[in-house]
């Protein structure tokens, strides 16, 4: 058995890391590190995800996203360990990592299947767990022509566009006014960013559709972000498809549709009028 590590670049992971190192040594398991883009923190010998039976992410949700991207090509399961507050993608806190590894080894875990966006451009191929963002680099606007299976939806002038999976629909896309897609919805969403005129609400497309973006940069150029990480793309055409069940997250309970987690984290809240009624009822 081989375990791959993805770690947060700066967060305190010492306790959880020591537990993983001790557990792998006790079980004769090889421990390697999968180096994430832009992260130069070395805690184990480098290795390749293709040889790993499990990937352990030590940090927060961003670290889990990096681990899921690393495992996207191979389908390797990812165990998220929260070194800090428990996020939406972490299965256990740092203190629970030893028990989690034992349960994984015993087969006492539940796979949570997640889709990913397959992104193709002239610069190659990439994966996004949350979202692909094409946005203006500086002053001015960019234009994006959005088509679904070759059928033009709209030509937009503005700050850019977010294309998000159901998981990513509660992140940048929601902040820009897009809908929340419940986990398991066989669809993804395109949300314009600060469109200048016209009429083009966020577009929800079926999971079997291909989205094509043709981008006309302004004089300041464009930026491309994948799961919040800026990439050195200069391409102006992108083809995006949703690959269902591409990723595997290790869980130990039923995550439902993800709505309880959104409420727990305060991203979705009740109407103040409803809360005021509840408060009155509690006083009576």
Query: Which entry of 50, 53, 61, 131 is annotated as an active-site residue?
Result: 61
The verdict on whether 12 is a catalytic residue reads no
What is the C-alpha separation between 92 and 80, in angstroms, rounded?
Answer: 7
SS (H, E, C) the chain: CEEEEEECCCCCCHHHHHHHHHHHHHCCCEEEECCCCCCCCCCCCECCHHHCCEEEEEECHHHHHHHHHHHCCCCCCEEEEECCCCCCCCCEEHHHHHHHHHHHHCCCCEEEEEEEEEEEECCEEEEECCEEEEEECCCCCEEEEEEECCEEEEEEEECEEEEECCCHHHCHHHHCCCCCCCCCCCEEEEEEECCCCCCCCCEEEECCCEEEEEEECCCCCEEEEECCEEECCCCCEEEEEEEEEEEEEEECCCCCCCHHHHHHCCCCCCCHHHHHHHHHHHHC
Residue with tokens 């200048």: 196
Catalytic residues: 61
């Amino acid at each position: 058995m081989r375990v791959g590590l993805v770690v947060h670049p700066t967060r305190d992971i010492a306790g959880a890391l020591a537990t993983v190192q001790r557990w792998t040594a006790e079980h004769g398991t090889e421990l390697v590190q999968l180096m994430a883009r832009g992260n130069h923190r070395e805690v184990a010998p480098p290795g390749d995800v293709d040889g790993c039976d499990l990937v352990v992410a030590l940090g927060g949700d961003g670290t889990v996203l990096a681990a899921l991207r690393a495992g996207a090509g191979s389908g390797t399961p990812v165990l998220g360990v929260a070194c800090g507050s428990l996020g939406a993608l972490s299965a256990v806190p740092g203190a629970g990592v030893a028990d989690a590894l034992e349960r994984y080894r015993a087969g006492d875990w539940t796979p949570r299947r997640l889709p990913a966006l397959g992104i193709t451009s002239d610069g190659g191929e990439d994966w996004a767990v949350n979202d692909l963002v094409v946005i203006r680099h500086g002053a001015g606007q960019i234009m994006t022509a959005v088509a679904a299976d070759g059928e033009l939806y709209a030509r937009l002038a503005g700050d850019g566009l977010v294309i998000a999976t159901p998981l990513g629909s509660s992140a940048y896309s929601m902040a820009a006014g897009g809908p929340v897609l419940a986990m398991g919805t066989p669809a993804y969403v395109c949300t314009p960013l600060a469109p200048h005129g016209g009429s083009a609400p966020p577009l929800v497309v079926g999971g079997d559709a291909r989205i094509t973006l043709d981008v006309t940069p302004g004089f300041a150029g464009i930026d491309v972000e994948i799961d919040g990480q800026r990439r050195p793309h200069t391409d102006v055409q992108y083809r995006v498809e949703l690959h269902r069940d591409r990723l595997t997250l290790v869980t130990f309970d039923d995550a439902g549709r993800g709505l309880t987690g959104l409420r727990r984290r305060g991203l979705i809240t009740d109407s103040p009028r409803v809360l005021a009624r509840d408060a009155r009822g509690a006083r009576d």
